[in-house]
Each structure stands twice: as structure tokens, then as C-alpha cells.
Structure 1
Amino acid sequence: MPAKALDFYLPNELNASHPPEKRGLRRDHVRMMVLDRNTGGIRHDHFFRLADYLESGDLVILNNSRTIPAILQAEWLRNTGQISPRVEIRLARRRNEDSWEALIVANPVKIGDALQFSPELTAMVIGEKAHSPLKIIQFSKKGTDLFNIIYALGEPIRYEYIEYPWELDYYQTVFASHPGSVEMPSAGRAFSWELIFQLKRKKIQLDFIQLHTGLSYLLDEQWHQTPEENEEEYRISKKTMERIRQTKASGKRVIAVGTTVVRALETAARNDALSGVTNLYIDQQFPLNIADGIITGFHEPKASHLDMLSAFISEQHLLQAYEQAVACGYLWHEFGDMNLII
């Protein structure tokens, strides 16, 4: 992947460290910057007025993946002897019912080492991911039983701009239903049930796909992941894909809520596969087959997500808009403001 993502200056005070609810706002009352794909024109509004920018018959696609508390603590054992009484494990991506790729914040962890999370849950290090610090761990539980224990023991992943350990509920969308994301699919966070009902009253369609987000930051810059290295599991129903086709055939627009949704939809269109794993990299050279617009948050300088946005709007217009967003005090990241490109 070419290192060409946009760079700009982002003051620290624009990193949203508190959920909107803790700033005295309803989740759907965050600000919204609206960009015209063709002209680069910029409008400033609030997210609860989203319906004003969509038309009857447009289709909004949301990601219903549910965030799990992906940071766990464990005793580190080797040959039944204790190496450390407490190490941090960050789940990165589910491989199957009982195995995950995980970042174990300890060195050097070896294949065959054991992790004791609780009297009910252990895991064995069974492999390594090539060209990555991630290990493959196999749990003693699987499926729903494993998720139940993870929810009981874990805490959500948060990065340095988050000043307080907010509870997991703050990292969920109101419609999240399928556990599996280790980081919140945050573009959908600003939706409330009231807004969803408002969209439906205007006969704006809504539907859901599922993409479980992986671990984006591996705690060491030498292990920076490109989109091609960040594989994520997705699933789209036949009914949803048919609805997408009908919407586009009728001349209406498909609006993706988040880069995760764009990635899943465009992978399905390119590979003719409604489920699987995507490592798709999208930039200004990529011909979008499904997504006509995107609802997203604001992305940090040089983030690969900015490359994806350049498939919707020119880099020049995008950079101008981001510079204006900085000047106007928009807030960044999962607890920040929203950007509609249409």
C-alpha cells in the first residue's frame, strides 16, 4: 500500500476523550459536517438532522457487530510454572469458535505457554501470525460460553486520548447485536432509535451487515498494519444484497455507515461472496461498485481510512474540509463528531 494518506495538524484538544452523553449531549446531537462529493461544498449541521440530506428510497447500511471487552488479564504459565502473575492480552481477531489472534503484552511468549484467566477459563498459545507480534491462542471454552466469560472478565480497548475507563455500554451502537468487534464500529454510534424511526417515517430504508473489527494498533510503530494485513470477518445476507441491487436499479443511493461497511460491501461485490474475510484496501483509484455515500467519524492524520474517503471525494476537497473541521472545533475519534459525504 502506498504511504500517501493525508496529513494535517490535529490539536490534542480535538481528540474526544468523553462520550457525548458525558458532555451533556444526546448521542445523535453531535455535530455533522456534510460534504458534496462533486463540488467539495461544505455544510455544517447536527447529526439528528441526517434525514434532511437523504431521500425517500435511499438505503442506509449499518454494521450490527457488537463490541466485546477485548482486554483481558491472565497469569502466564510455562510447564506449569509461573512466568508472571499478570499479563495483558488484547484480542485481535477471532479465527474460529475457540481460537483468537491476540496481542500478548509480554516478551518472549512461546508456543506451548498457558494463560490462566480465571478458574473457569484458560488458553494455550498454539501459534504465531507471520510478520506480526500477534499470537494464536486456543481457549478452553468456545462459542457463547467463551463470549459470556469474556464479557464478565474483560474491559474495552481504549487509546491514549481516552482519559477515563468508560464502561462497555459507551462503546456500543444502539443496534449492536452480534458480538465480535474488538474496537467499536464507531460510525454508527451517533444513531439513536428516535433518529432511526425518523428515517423510516421518511421512507428511507435501513438494513444491516456484519463486520467484526480487528485490533488496529499493536502498541509498537514498527508493527503498523496496512489494510491488506488487517483481515476482518464479514457477513451480508442474501436479502440485504438483493435490497441493495433493487435500490441501485431504481436510481436511489446506498449510504454506508462507516469504513467497515464500505469494506464489506465492496469486497462482496468484487469477490461475489456474501461472507468471508476481507483485507480490501480502498483509495482514490478504487472504483466503488456499491457505496454512493458514507457516514463516518473524523480520522486522524495519515490514517488509511482517509485513503478510503478519497474514493468518495477528491483529496483536495477532503483536505480542505478537514482543515475547516479543525478550525471549527469538530471532535475526532469514536466519541467525536460525524462526517457525511454524499
Structure 2
Amino acid sequence: MGAIAYPFHIPDELNATKPKEFTSGSRDDVKLLVLDPASGGTIHDRFNRLEEFLLPGDLVVFNNSRTIPAVLKAKQSGREIEVRLSRRIDENQWEALMLGEFIQTGHTLQFSERLTASITGSGSEAPLCKLRFSISGTALMDEIYRIGEPIRYEYIDEEWSLDSYQTVYASVPGSVEMPSAGRAFTWEGLNRLKAKGINTAFLQLHTGLSYYENDRWPNPKHHPETYRIPEETAALVNRTRESGGRVIAIGTTVVRALESAVDLNGRIRPEEGTTTLYIDKSHPLRAVDGLLTGFHEPEASHLDMLTSFIDTAPLMKAYKEAIHKGYHWHEFGDMNLILPNRCKP
């Protein structure tokens, strides 16, 4: 299912191709566009001044899922096949995207001397399929780390290490693509938040593939991802909202997880499971007030979620302004903070 494109174009020179720490010395040396959803007004600043836009008592919620090397090379009947893992189903099964010619069901995929897999059926949507690996659990993850490579899309022109596709606070392996909204944070920046009285909390949502190649995109209304919200995080979110503070999600993954676990009264439940929640302008946000995110492609369903925070017209105006001012897109790019002046009643 193809995504509906929004009306803007990203010039090639605005595709961020290198991590900032290899060009200017620090991850947080990126631009920050602050967007007021009430007025549509914009402020242009730097990400390393993020705390200036937050208030004591605000809660910043991070996704500490760690990126795994999800690209695996296999051979099947003498042919090379690229496998991109998308979602873990259980101890030895994954959904995956297969890239190659004449891929055959019923024929073994050979990844290494230790690891083979068989195709057991279709995935949650085309073109994904289900793979059953010959080993499971920790042993399987160890082998994936040994032979795998990080997913790299066509706008990245060099092979950066897996560490380049991690946030500094990532701790729970499971995402096949980096939850990139948090990439610009440094430990110094996190300490500045704490020094100002801004609270932090963590959850996990393990990201699936966001692109299936050949202009194929996931169906945003049926894109399962697994998540876990610890008791401590649920309590912090509930306490913040009760006291009138703002809950600011670091990335669309955090929004999806929290909004999947909130009840009609706006209280978060500590839970884990799989969500297919699709968020757009028709979805009433109950758990989250603000969002820090990167800049998204015209076809990305992430933009649908952004319209639950701000109307489409001022969002597109801000995006075109960002293009005019030379903001950079994608996981190594600049940042966008959508933040109300005060908490919703």
C-alpha cells in the first residue's frame, strides 16, 4: 500500500548523509525548529538549547530501544538474497523483507555455518514474509549481531557503524531502524534537562521497517510493533499530567506506545504487547502534549501523526520554511519540536 504524499519536495542537498559528530564534533550540533501548534508560529534555534523551551516539571519520555544490525545476507540455491528483519514474532521467528530474484519457499536460506532459516508463510502485510530460524533466543540475537549490518537507505553514501545508528541511552535491543528522534541527545544535554528540573522516563517500542523499497511503504493502519511501558514510566506520566506538567514524547514511537496504553481518562497503564494503532488528526491525544521529532518524507505516515498535534496547513508552512532555511532530513538531520505553551486541560 502506497502512502499519500504531502505537497512538498526535499532537494537532494537536504538529505543528511553523515552523523554530525563526524562533521562538527557533537551529535547535538543540529538545528531546532520550534513550532507552536496554537498559532503556527516558528522559532529557529539550535538543538543544544532544547532545555530553554522546556519547563521545570515537564516530563520528557524516551524510547530506549536499541538498534540491531537487521540486514542479513543469505544464499538460497546458489543465489544471493538480502534479508531485512522487520519484527520479532517469538524466540526464533521474525517477519522480514526479502530482496532478491527467484526466492523460493520451502528452500533453506543459509546465513552462516551456524544459522539457516525457512520461509514459513506471509507476514502481516505484503511484501513481508515469516522466517523461522534454526537457532533461537539469545543465541539467535548473538548470531544476528555477528553477521548483520545496519539498514542503510539510498541517501546514505557511506557505511557507518552500528554505533552511528544508536541513541546514547539505547539499552534494549529490538529496533531494526533507529528511533532517530533521540539521536541528537548527548549525556551533557540529558544532564542539562535534569539540572533544570525536567524529568525523564523511558519505554520501549521496537521499530519495524519504514520502507519496503521500490516505492513501497507499510500500511500505516496495520503496521504492528511491540512495546513495553514500565510501571515507573506510567506513574511518572500520570503524575505529570495530574500536576499540570507537559508530557513531551521524543519521537513518534513514544507517542504510539503511550497512546496505545492510555485509558479514556488519560491514565497510562504499565503494559507490554503489540500495537497497530494509527494516529492522525482524527485521533484525540490523551497521553502526550508535545513531540520532538525529525523531519519526515512526503510519503511518510509519521506526518499523519503530526497532524494530531498541529493542523496540516501550518505544519506544511513550517516544513516549507525549513526547506527554505536549509534544514536537513532523515536520521542524521535536524529536529522539530511541536510544543504547546501550556498543558491541555
TM-score (norm 1): 0.94
* 1:31 equivalent in structure 2: 31
Which stretch of structure 1 is more off in the superposition, 330-339 or 86-95? Answer: 86-95
Q: Tell me by how many angstroms 1:275 deviates.
A: 1.4
* 1:268 equivalent in structure 2: 261
Give 1:43's aligned amino acid: I
* 1:226 equivalent in structure 2: 219
Q: Tell me by how many angstroms 1:284 deviates.
A: 1.2
- Give the one of 283, 287, 291 matched to 2:288: 291
Which stretch of structure 1 is more off in the superposition, 18-27 or 48-57? Answer: 18-27
**2-structure distance, mates of 1:237, 1:226:** 28
- Give the one of 182, 198, 203 matched to 1:204: 198
Give 2:75's aligned amino acid: E
Which stretch of structure 1 is more off in the superposition, 134-143 or 208-217? Answer: 134-143
Q: Tell me by how many angstroms 1:131 deviates.
A: 4.5
SS at match of 1:174: coil
The answer as to whether partners of 2:3 and 2:300 remain within 8 angstroms in 1 is: no
Deviations 1:11-39 (CA, angstroms, capped at 9, x unpaired): 11001011111222410121100011211
Question: 5+ unaligned residues in a row in structure 2: which ranges?
Answer: 340-345
- Give the one of 309, 326, 329 matched to 1:329: 326
Identify if the C-alpha distance between structure 1 residues 130 and 39 changes in structure 2 by more than 3 Å, giving closer, same or farther.
Answer: closer
- Pair 1:175-2:169 in alignment: yes
Identify if the C-alpha distance between structure 1 residues 278 and 201 changes in structure 2 by more than 3 Å, giving closer, same or farther.
Answer: same
**1-structure distance, mates of 2:263, 2:15:** 35
* 2:152 equivalent in structure 1: 158
- Give the one of 210, 221, 225 matched to 1:216: 210
**2-structure distance, mates of 1:219, 1:133:** 10
**1-structure distance, mates of 2:272, 2:5:** 28
Give 2:164's aligned amino acid: Y
SS at match of 1:175: coil
Give 1:278's aligned amino acid: T
SS at match of 2:78: strand
Q: Percent identity?
A: 53
- Pair 1:91-2:85 in alignment: yes
SS at match of 2:95: strand
Alignment of 1:42-81 (within 5 A): 42-76=42-76
Across the aligned residues of Structure 1 and Structure 2, the Cα RMSD in angstroms comes to: 1.7
**2-structure distance, mates of 1:30, 1:2:** 31
Give 2:177's aligned amino acid: E
Which stretch of structure 1 is more off in the superposition, 301-310 or 197-206? Answer: 301-310
The answer as to whether partners of 1:5 and 1:306 remain within 8 angstroms in 2 is: no
Q: Tell me by how many angstroms 1:229 deviates.
A: 2.5
Question: 5+ unaligned residues in a row in structure 1: which ranges?
Answer: 77-82
Q: Tell me by how many angstroms 1:180 deviates.
A: 0.7
* 2:121 equivalent in structure 1: 127
Identify if the C-alpha distance between structure 1 residues 130 and 286 changes in structure 2 by more than 3 Å, giving closer, same or farther.
Answer: closer
* 1:258 equivalent in structure 2: 251
- Give the one of 310, 334, 338 matched to 2:307: 310
**2-structure distance, mates of 1:49, 1:150:** 38
The answer as to whether partners of 2:80 and 2:100 remain within 8 angstroms in 1 is: no
Which stretch of structure 1 is more off in the superposition, 21-30 or 1-10? Answer: 1-10
Q: Tell me by how many angstroms 1:115 deviates.
A: 1.2
The answer as to whether partners of 1:216 and 1:225 remain within 8 angstroms in 2 is: yes
Give 1:42's aligned amino acid: T
- Give the one of 108, 122, 134 matched to 1:114: 108
Identify if the C-alpha distance between structure 1 residues 219 and 270 changes in structure 2 by more than 3 Å, giving closer, same or farther.
Answer: farther
- Pair 1:138-2:138 in alignment: no
**2-structure distance, mates of 1:146, 1:266:** 32
SS at match of 1:225: coil
Q: Tell me by how many angstroms 1:129 deviates.
A: 2.0
Q: Tell me by how many angstroms 1:130 deviates.
A: 5.6
